[in-house]
Amino acid sequence: MTTTAATQPHDSPPEPEVDNYLTYTRGFRSWALTLDHKRIGIMYLVSVLGSFLVGGIFALLVRTELLTPGATIPGVDENLYNQFFTLHGAIMVFLVIIPSIPAALGNFVLPIMLGAKDVAFPRLNLGSYYLWVIGAICAVVSLTVGGFDTGWTFYTPYSTTTTTGGVIPVVTGVFILGFSSIFTGMNFVVTIHKLRPPGMTWFKMPLLLWALYATALIQVLATPVLAITLLMLIVERVFQIGLFDPAMGGDPVLFQHFFWFYSHPAVYIMILPAMGIISEIISVHSHRHIFGYRFIAFSSVAIAIFSFLVWGHHMFTSGQSPLMNVVFSLITFSVAIPSGIKIFNWMATLYRGSISINTPMLYGLGFIFLFTIGGLTGLHLGTLNTDIHLHDTYFVVAHFHYVMMGSALIAMVGGLHHWWPKMFGRMYNERHGIIGFTLVFIGFNVTFFTQFMLGSHGMPRRYYDYPSEFQIYHVISTIGSYIMAAGFFWTLYLLVQSLFSGKIAPANPWGGRSLEWQCSSPPPHDNFKTTPSVGDCYDFSVVRWSEEEGGYVVDRGDDATSKPDH
């Protein structure tokens, strides 16, 4: 640490206010080889949003194809359709949602919120990013060698026998992406344990950090199981023998056990950081101390632990023993407890708060609404007898879209608006942001609420053709998806536009108390000039609007907001 302090004066440009992480150094190499967690976060963000566009295009193709029974888009037959939904699922899960909050937003805000200069292993962090890139390239390569139509779950024995040529490249890609995720998790766990400044105790950490910590534990302990499973799958596909091959005494259901041992926790890799973001947004934008801090923090950890014990609820119809079904069903229900704790605490935080209805807050409220629907419909699927009927129908599709998209992705977009001024030093247009939210929110519900009805009427998922009685629902759902697409394109436009003509952002535009609002917007290369002083990050009574700053300031001498030589 003496070296950092010693080199500080030499590295700093002469005018301190110009020194931010974006202008600190220039040129392609300074980005490609950066060790700065903020730049790595931005690189992840751009890559993830690019993947989101690709995955979204496949979703629109799927929805358009389903407008009419049988063929709709000229040239798209059943086999191509199978590839569309497989690609949509694989891209959205492995390239978008899993890295979206931890790797993109988390990388940017975690060290600043913690009061650290960077993550514990900056080189490993950059390495994780390039592993992500290599994994993404593998997925692209798989398209050029025949694609793959296994569904994102790669179930054996279909995945070991299908004639589409892209299975091995894409499985290799997911294998590599898994390591990217493991290393990010490792970095976050060590960072949170070892790099906290004086005064930043566990119970003074913002709740997003608790959520990212719980997420990182899952990433570290569950992802390796997926890695070895995929390796076994590759070996089996190449040599046509393996643990999943019943012809030689193997067990095909074993693949499902292994796959869901990772992929159910992976759902919590998606949702836990989203819940962390919501804890920040709800508290900051209602200017009220978060209600039940410890309960929210521990419920994150509880959800992480539960995540390892419920994978069997994906396999109620796979022939596992009835006793196991009952046990998995019961444990699944108990996930409702920590999830419910969070919802009620957010509601209690809102109660009598001074709520600012701006874009991040709308996404936050949207999250609570959509997650509640996603969570409650989970009860129908966790109940054994209703699951037999609903299994593999559009009800499941709607349920997990409410959780993975309506909750995880909505929180990600909300968080993006929340930290956008911090990331780029520009305010987006609030009115435009609200229009974007409205389109996305309406489009989402039109698309997926309809699918609950489709599913409960018996429309199976992944089908290319369907009886004409389902058509009206499919048409409504497809229209919803177009509205949602318009909302996302609009959001992209308003965010990009803000970079060119947005107002200059103050250090603290929302009145937040956590440490990232103490440093300037965009933050300097080293995050903090002096050791940040840690207060109660949810105590908003000392925050007041300052006309000359154009933003909020924190009163009292115990915070180093505008005092460089504290």
Q: Which stretches of the chain bind other proteins, using CB under 8 A?
A: 1-2, 4-6, 8, 115-117, 120-121, 124, 182, 186-187, 189-190, 193-198, 220-225, 227-229, 231-232, 235, 239-243, 245, 248-251, 254, 258, 261, 526-532
Which residue, 190 or 384, has its beta carbon nearer to other proteins?
190
Encoded tokens for 515: 């440490």
Between 183 and 428, name the residue whose CB sits nearer to other proteins. 183
142, 145, 147, 148: CA torsion to nearest 10: -80
Comparing CB distances to other proteins, the nearer of 118 and 149 is 118
Give the nearest distance from C-beta 215 to other proteins in angstroms. Answer: 14
Q: What is the CA radius of gyration of the chain?
A: 24
Closest CA to 211 of 141, 280, 259: 280
Please provide the DSSP assignment of 405-466 as one string: IIIIIHHHHHHHHHHHHHHHSEEPPHHHHHHHHHHHHHHHHHHHHHHHHHHHTTPBTT-S--
Q: Which two tokens stand for residue 96?
A: 């978008």
What token pair was written down for 187?
A: 């970095």
Q: Which two tokens stand for residue 192?
A: 């949170």
Closest distance to other proteins from the beta carbon of 103 (Å): 17
CA-to-CA distance for 243 and 248, rounded, in angstroms? 8
In whole angstroms, the minimum distance from the beta carbon of 252 to other proteins comes to 11
Residue closer to other proteins (CB basis): 195 or 475:
195
| 544, β-bridge pairs | 553
Least distance in Å: CB of 523 to other proteins?
A: 12
Kindly state the smallest distance separating residue 284's Cβ from other proteins, in Å. Answer: 23
Taking Cα atoms as reference points, which of 376, 406, 380 lies closest to residue 393?
Answer: 380
Helix (H, G, I), strand (E, B), or coil: what is residue 50?
helix
The nearest distance, CB 31 to other proteins, in angstroms, is 22
Distances (CA, A) of 172 to 103, 166, 486: 20, 10, 34
Question: Looking up tokens 């489009």, which residue turns up?
Answer: 443
Which CB, 187 or 358, lies closer to other proteins? 187
Report CA 517 to chain centroid distance, whole Å. 22
Angle at 205 between CA 203 and CA 207, to 5 degrees: 100
Least separation, in Å, of the C-beta of 244 and other proteins?
9
543: part of which helix (H) or strand (E)?
strand 543-546
Nearer to other proteins, 422 or 426 (CB): 422
Structure tokens at 270: 């998606």
Nearest to other proteins of 262, 363 (CB atom): 262
| Two structure tokens written together for 126 | 């950059």
Handedness of CA 423, 56, 278, 404 (dihedral sign): negative
CB contact burial 394-404 (16+ within 10 A = b; e otherwise): bbbbbbbbbbb
Q: Is 416 exposed, middle or buried (0-12, 13-18, 19+ CB in 10 A)?
A: buried
Q: Toward other proteins, which CB reaches closer, 251 or 469?
A: 251
Judged by beta carbon, residue 186 or residue 397, the one nearer other proteins is 186
Please say which residue, 124 or 134, places its beta carbon nearer to other proteins: 124
Query: What is the closest distance, in whole angstroms, from the C-beta atom of residue 539 to other proteins in the complex?
Result: 23
Find, among 334, 341, 317, 325, the residue nearest to 378 by Cα: 334
- Compare residues 82 and 125 and give the one whose CB is closer to other proteins: 125
Closest approach of Cβ 522 to other proteins, in Å? 17
Shortest reach from residue 200's CB to other proteins, in Å: 9
Cis peptide preceding 460, ω within 30 of 0: no
- C-beta closer to other proteins: residue 120 or 214: 120
**Shortest distance, position 241 Cβ to other proteins, whole Å:** 5
User: Shortest gap between Cβ of 553 and other proteins (angstroms)?
Assistant: 22
Residue among 154, 326, 367 at smallest CA distance from 252: 154
* Amino acid present at 200: M
